[in-house]
Structure 1
Amino acid sequence: MAQDRVEAVERALTVLEAFDDDRESFTLADLAQATGYYKSTLLRLLGSLARFDYVQRSHDGRWSLGHAPLRLARRHPPSRHLSARIQPLLDRLAIETGETAALLENHGRQVECRLVALPNAALRHELRPGSQWPLAAGDDPRPELPGGKMLLQTLPSVPGEPKRWLTLSGPSSRLDAHSEAALRAAREELTTKYETEAVT
């Protein structure tokens, strides 16, 4: 209803909608063209959105989405379902192997750590949910780990879902055939769950 509209809120939401694009970052001119707003108006709106971490500004002045939209998206039922289904397996995998077990997810040319289980070891790969890094050449989701490495298994997906990987990471000297076998077994377990849910 017209009387329920708040113009400033609608303008801010219009700015956020402009980020629904294949590009990862935008200049102020890009956003002005997408929204039709003056740059001075945009800067005020972006300043408010940045204070609540809905957007962030890089050192070169380009704008991208902040962490708040991702945090809220995790409260969406499909994300909660994903966590309930996979987190226990990651916890078990970390205990069994003594390495960091994680679920990675592809977003454009970025990789995000969605879920993680850390082992009870002093020397380990410190990975946190929400951590992001660029997708490497050849669509390799693994980050650079000096002195360490990451094993990965691609998970099955359905149309509309992002690509996901199950991973184990830690010191290169500790990741062995046992680690690879444990990761494959975890992937097969999840694959069976996917197929069962698809049928039911």
Structure 2
Amino acid sequence: MAQDRVEAVERALTVLEVFDSSQEAFALAELAEATGFYKSTLLRLLGSLARFDYVQRGEDGRWRLGGSPMRLARRHAPSQQLAVRVQPWLDRLAAETGETAALLALHPGEVECRLAALPATPLRHDLRPGSRWPTERDTDPRPALPGGTMTCLALADAPGEPPLWLSLSGPAGRLAPETAHEALTRARDALARRLAGDREKNT
């Protein structure tokens, strides 16, 4: 009903809806065009959203989604169960290989990092949950990594989830693609056995 509406909240949500796009970052002028709001109004809304980490302003002055939307998304039951199963293997992969291990989700036109484990080395691919990048092919979720490399392996389809991939990434030449693929295969097969066991318990 009309009396239940809070205009400021609806304006903030209108701003967030713009980020449901394959475009990762937006200039203030682009947000103004998409929402129809004055730039001065947008700056106030973005300031409030940034304080709660729903959006972040990069060094280039463009606005991106912050960490809070991803944090809340992980409260979704299927995502919670997936994280419990996958994160220990990402931690193990990062420790064993010395590279960044991640779970990637493929959406139309873009890839999203769902989970990540970073190695204990300063020279690494600093990939974080919530990171997104565009893609033109549904068979290759790798981002452009100047001076770096990423090896990916698709997981079996999970109910209620987009196509998922395990990945290892880091500086080029430090981890051979064959070694990375072997490590990812071991993790994928172990996860498949775990999922099969869970399904048997629930039947």
Match of 2:106 in 1: 106
In the TM superposition, residue 142 of structure 1 has moved relative to its aligned partner by 0.9
The one-letter code matched in structure 1 to 2:74 is: R
- 2:10 counterpart of 1:11: yes
Q: Which letter maps to 1:31?
A: T
Structure-to-structure mapping, 1:123-142, within 5 angstroms: 123-135=123-135, 137-139=136-138, 140-142=140-142
CA deviations on 1:89-140 (whole Å, 9 max, x unpaired) are 11112222232211112243232222222223454323222222222x3232
Q: C-alpha separation between the residues in 2 aligned to 1:179 and 1:23?
A: 29
- 1:95 & 1:195 partners in 2: Cα distance? 26
User: In structure 2, do the counterparts of structure 1 residues 42 and 152 end up closer, same or farther at CA, with 3 Å as the change threshold?
Assistant: same
Which structure 2 residues correspond to residues 1-200 of structure 1 after superposition, within 5 A? 5=4, 7-8=6-7, 11-12=10-11, 15=14, 18-19=17-18, 24=23, 27-32=31-36, 43=42, 45=45, 48-49=48-49, 51-55=51-55, 65-135=65-135, 137-139=136-138, 140-158=140-158, 160-170=160-170, 171-199=172-200, 200=202
Three-state SS of the structure 2 residue aligned to 1:145 is coil
Change (3 A) 1:180 1:197: same
C-alpha contact (below 8 Å) 1:147/1:172 kept by paired residues:
no
Task: State the structure with more CA Rg.
Answer: 1
Q: State the TM-score, normalizing by the size of structure 2.
A: 0.70
Identity of aligned residues (%): 49
Query: How large is the Cα RMSD of the aligned pairs?
Result: 3.6
Change (3 A) 1:49 1:116: closer
Deviations 1:8-54 (CA, angstroms, capped at 9, x unpaired)? 3552476268559666577545435xxxxx76897465664455443
- 1:138 aligned counterpart, secondary structure: coil
Q: In 1, distance between residues paired with 2:115 and 2:191?
A: 15
* 1:35 alignment partner in structure 2: none
TM-score by length of 1: 0.71
For this pair of structures, how many residues does the alignment match?
Answer: 193
In structure 1, C-alpha distance between the alignment counterparts of 2:178 and 2:66, rounded to whole Å: 39
